[in-house]
Amino acid sequence: MKPTHSLVWETTGIHDAIIDSGLKIPKNERLLLWFDEKWSPKTNTFVTLEDIMVLGGFSVLGAPVTCQVESPEDHAALDELVHVFRSRSKKASLSAWMNIFKGTQNALEHEAFLAFWLSKYLFAYVKDTVLPETFRMAILLAKGRRIALTPAILATLYQDLHFLQDAIIDVMQGVGSYVVKGVFSTMYYAQAWIWERFSNVSPTGETRLARW
């Protein structure tokens, strides 16, 4: 994808974010749980829009993630992606989705790739499943239209931080027996934020997501 579509990714402001998706950030669960205990859901302190934009390489400007397709061509592309999705018994695993399109020279290979990327790395609220909600974004991004992904990603992170914090409180009060660790948001941005600002818990002296 990169040799053919990197210019479009640059135009839409997702190039670095896509490249960073291949990074392996070692997850520090104890650090994240410590951070989450300090986080305030009322004020949404700590991680900001600027942090997500800088660390993740996303755009804060552009169409909302609830954008709609308008042209007949885009509607046809949407219909085709939805048809393929539904042909997988209304649930397409990420690996199955990739196998359908990868290397087939399908006219929608790029759109399918972007839907895969959005579903796996940014809005993974259903594990290992391509999300039809990403299809419109994928179609517009493939055409070079910028989408404001930063606010949506931050909102997803806040939601999971709140969810995780509730689980921690339940355990402390004896209501629950375990802390939910299987949140699917991009929690590694919170971890990178901690490493950026607290050198005493940072594994290196460097900064930015790629260096973590």
Please give, one letter per residue, the 3-state secondary structure of 62-120. Answer: CECCCCCCCCHHHHHHHHHHHHHHHCCCCCCEHHHHHHHHCCCCCCCHHHHHHHHHHHH
Residue 207: band (very low, low, confident or very high) from pLDDT cuts 50, 70, 90: very low
Global pTM reads: 0.83
pLDDT tens column, 174-190: 766 666 555 656 788 88
Tell me the percentage of the chain whose pLDDT exceeds 90. 31
Q: Are the C-beta atoms of 151 and 208 separated by less than 8 Å?
A: no
Question: What does the block give as tokens for 156?
Answer: 């997803």
Q: Return d(Cα 53, Cα 149) in angstroms, integer.
A: 9
Q: Are the C-beta atoms of 77 and 61 separated by less than 8 Å?
A: no
Report pLDDT for 186. Answer: 76
pLDDT tens column, 137-157: 999 999 999 999 999 989 888
